[in-house]
Structure 1
Amino acid sequence: MSGELLRLITAQVLLHAAMTGMRLGAPLLALQQGYSAAAVGLLIALFALTQVFLALPAGRFADRRGLKRPLMLSVIAASSGAALAAILPSFPVLCLAALLTGGATGAAVIALQRHVGRAAANPTQLKQVFSWLAIAPAVANFVGPFCAGLLIDHAGRSPADLPGFRIAFAVLALLPLAGWFFARGTHELPSIVRAEGESKPRAWDLLRQAMFRRLLFVNWLQSSSWDVHAFLLPILGHERGLGASVIGSILGAFAIAAALIRIVLPLVAARASERSVIATSSVITALMFSVYPLLSSALAMGICSVVLGFALGAVQPMVMSMLHQITPHERHGEALGLRLMAINASSVAMPMLFGSIGALIGIGGVFWLASGVVALGTRAVWGLKA
């Protein structure tokens, strides 16, 4: 891994950690202030909402401006959101902070993914750099909540008092600025200029490409599988009489496995094609989903969770590699924006759909339904060509 890539990964970790820390702290403060569970649910949804609507414009902006301008604006937005929450920790300001930090994270991810994809010299390097870059969210999902929780409990005069929250938000506001310190020296790649008289590109043009649509569908299938597991496992564990800490440990094992496989992927990138990795992941995912409802012990569910983490964790780097190979260089940012928009929209809608279906056929039935859908979708994977 090059020094420049390491600095960009560090920058993404710090910026992303500001959002994940706010995603922990803001709902806790809202609950402490007496707001209802519905209001807190809305607050949490706002972290993803801006990414749905801003992803495509952010991708187009990255295509025009490269890496540093979008990243700098993302740093300003994320730091401002957390700082506002520290200065005026009221519910409306917490909602604004959620919009700013969530949107900033999405825009920064698109700009970073576009940059490292363009910097890669060949398909093997594409798989390697996206495997390394995919580690950043996993690290940030630990660093942000851990730091925020530690400060909220110990930085104030008493655990979880208002000064503790304010100090936590202030520290989170500094993380994106530290990220900019690491990323500011990155060498900007030459911009791609459209030919004079060429018509302005539209998102529909990308969606009309059969291979791009197929890749989006495959990515949606894998992302939905991630959501199925995160949403249904706590319910299944509760039905089996498992405690909250045990369920949390099973979910934690999934996250660790997903991060570990991304460390291993760069070492095997030259030996495995994107299509074979995604197809293998689909088969394993379908198998694990079919087995899950039959398990009753925490150990068996934990093993299943780890195997599923390995399978699903390997997919994103492969999808990103293929996306950069099948889309025009001057529209990588727009393609990344469309992908992020589709995934976030799915993450908002899928839990409601899963809950409705689960009420009709039971949680085990939803797992088996998901298993069948993933198995059928494996056919689409074999049609992928970079």
Structure 2
Amino acid sequence: MRRWPWVLLLHAMFLQLAAYIVRPAAAYRALELGVEPALLGLIAASFALLPLFIAVLVGRATDAGHQRAVLLGGAMLMAGAGAGLVFASSSLELLLLWNGVLGLGHLMCVVGQQSRIAEGESGRLDAAFGLYTFAGSAGQAVGPLLIPVFGGGRVLPDTRALFLAYTASAIVLLVLTFPLVRHPRRTGRAGVRPEIPRGSLGSTFTRTTRRSRGKLFGAMVVSAMVLGAIDLIAVYLPALGVERGIPAAVVGILLSVRAGATMASRLYLGPLVARFGRAELIALSTAVSALAVGALAAPLNLVALAAVLVVAGVALGIGQPLTMTVISLEAPRGTQGTWLALRLSANRLGQSAIPAAVGLVAASAGVAGVFGVTGAGLALVAGGSWYSLRRGRG
């Protein structure tokens, strides 16, 4: 394996490390500022709002050969957001602003990373995306472990120290971007260079068959719901800890347990797909995640809570990389970046709409109700995936 894929994996790890330091830290800062738990969904929504409208433009830019600029711009925005959070996050409005900048930088980095993976050999995409998301999960596991370092036995940790740790991680990400973008784009499948996208955005849709469009949009729905659930765990588990008096150190460990379980699920995706089938794994893992996330609403002790998060982590970890593979395989050559960006737009729509909707639940049913509603949403998506699978076979 050439040197740059390892740089890409490190880039993915530090991107998610930074994000999963700042996501719970932002929730804790909001609670410090006296924000009601029902409004915490705004923190997740602000992260997703700008990317929701810009993702497709970023994807088309990568298809047009501007992948380097996208990666560098994203890393710079991540670092800039860190400075803002450290020095100017004394109100909810400022917190939402810097989360928006952070979300845009995160999106640009993710589109750049995934478009590089999508250029690989079709027969190895499940394993490649599994390894890529494994690296990201490693960052997700390490990030929350900093909460015990700065939180100790307190319910609320030192959020300024967490923001400084995020900024340091974002600077490392920026440094890693330079060796990554020095390497030329890989050639396309079977040694064919990727095409430059031509025509309007509408032509991207018309170049796909009706069957492929069904698969592409189905993958987007699953991806949006799964990522929304992962985000809600990151944002609302700290709130659940405050509500139940669980120290911040323990919450950080629980978040790392979830991410560690997700890492484990992604190591063997290639063999699992070969044995059970990609569509079957997507439907089954989404159904299991529905049960596990819904169980978080119950008044569990810490051991049971950790066990449920392990199951949720394993199940939620399978859907994301497999939907990336579906999109990479079904998208016409030269449009993978655009379709992957459309998938990210769907993700950000889910990250905006789902937290806003469940925030209303938190206002009436408490934080635990958020997990119950999210589990129900996952169950609906799992049922739709299974129905589509059966119909496709029929």
Identify the TM-score tier after normalising by the shorter chain: 0.7 to 0.9
Q: Distance in 1 between matches of 2:196 and 2:143?
A: 38
Cross-structure match for 2:176: 179
Unaligned runs of 5+ in 1: 154-158
Structure 1 residue aligned with 2:345: 341
Counterpart amino acid of 2:285?
Answer: S
Q: Rate the CA distance shift 1:368–1:117 in 2: closer, same or farther, 3 A.
A: same
Decide whether aligned partners of structure 1 residues 176 and 212 sit closer, same or farther in structure 2, where only a CA change above 3 A counts: same
Give the match for residue 130 of structure 2.
Answer: 131
User: Which residue of 174, 193, 197 maps to 2:196?
Assistant: 193
The letter of the residue matching 2:116 is: H
User: CA–CA distance in 2 between the matches of 1:294 and 1:23?
Assistant: 24
What CA distance in whole angstroms lies between the structure 2 residues aligned with 1:95 and 1:230?
A: 16
- 3-state SS of 2:274 partner: coil
Q: Deviations over 1:306-326 (max 9, x none)?
A: 111111111111111111112
Which residue does the alignment assign to 1:57?
A: 57
User: What amino acid is the match of 2:109?
Assistant: A
- TM-score normalised by L of structure 1: 0.76
2:116 aligned residue:
115
Other-structure match for 2:289: 285
Q: Which amino acid aligns with 1:174?
A: I
Q: Report the CA distance shift for 1:229/1:194 in structure 2 as closer, same or farther (over 3 A).
A: closer
Distance apart, 1:64 and its partner CA: 0.7
CA contact (8 A) 1:222 1:282 kept: yes
Q: Could you tell me how far apart the structure 1 residues matched to 2:378 and 2:69 are?
A: 39
Report the structure number with the largest CA radius of gyration.
1
Residues 362 and 207 of structure 1, relative CA distance in 2, 3 Å threshold: farther
Cα deviation for residue 172 of structure 1 reads: 4.5
Cα distance in 2 for partners of 1:272, 1:102 equals 35
Who is 1:14 aligned against?
14
Contact 2:60 2:337 in 1 (8 A): yes
Q: CA separation in 2, counterparts of 1:145 and 1:377?
A: 28
CA distance in 2, matches of 1:274, 1:291: 26
Report if the CA contact (8 A) 2:115-2:336 is conserved: yes
Unaligned runs of 5+ in 2: 152-156, 188-192
Distance 1:233 1:148 in 2: 13
Q: Distance in 2 between matches of 1:79 and 1:215?
A: 31
Q: Which residue of 2 aligns with 1:352?
A: 356
The equivalent position to 2:230 in structure 1, one of 226, 229, 235, is 226
Contact 1:10 1:182 (8 Å CA) reproduced:
no
Q: Give the corresponding residue for 1:156.
A: none
**1:145 positional shift:** 6.6
Superposed counterparts of 1:188-337, under 5 Å: 188=185, 189=187, 190-194=193-197, 201=202, 209-227=213-231, 229-230=233-234, 244-289=248-293, 291-293=295-297, 296-337=300-341
Matched residue, 2:154: none
CA deviation after TM superposition for structure 1 residue 108, in Å: 1.5
Paired residues of 1:15 and 1:179 also in contact (CA < 8 A): no
SS at match of 1:270: helix
Cα shift readout 1:61-109 (whole Å, capped 9, x = no counterpart): 1111153232233234434554x549x9345998765444432221121
User: Closer, same or farther in 2 for the Cα pair 1:218/1:207, shift >3 Å?
Assistant: farther
- The CA distance in 1 between the partners of 2:147 and 2:363, in whole Å, is 35
Quote the Cα distance in structure 2 between the aligned partners of 1:316 and 1:171: 27
Report the alpha carbon displacement of residue 203 of structure 1 after superposing the two structures with TM.
Answer: 7.0
Give 1:129 deviation, angstroms: 0.6
Tell me the amino acid that sits aligned with residue 311 of structure 1.
A
User: Any idea what the Cα deviations from partners look like across 1:35-85, whole Å, max 9, x if unmatched?
Assistant: 664899877754433322321211111111153232233234434554x54
Other structure's SS at 1:329 match? coil
Residue 175 to residue 282, structure 1, CA distance change in 2 (3 Å): same
Give secondary structure in 2 for the equivalent of 1:328.
coil
1:18–1:173 CA contact under 8 A, matched in 2: yes
Write the distance in 2 (CA, Å) between the matches of 1:380 and 1:314: 17
In 2: Cα distance, 1:121 partner to 1:341 partner: 24
3-state SS of 1:119 partner: coil
Aligned residue type for 2:119? R
- Residues 126 and 361 (structure 1 numbering): CA distance in 2 closer, same or farther, change over 3 Å? same
Q: Is the 8 A contact 2:59 2:338 kept in 1?
A: yes
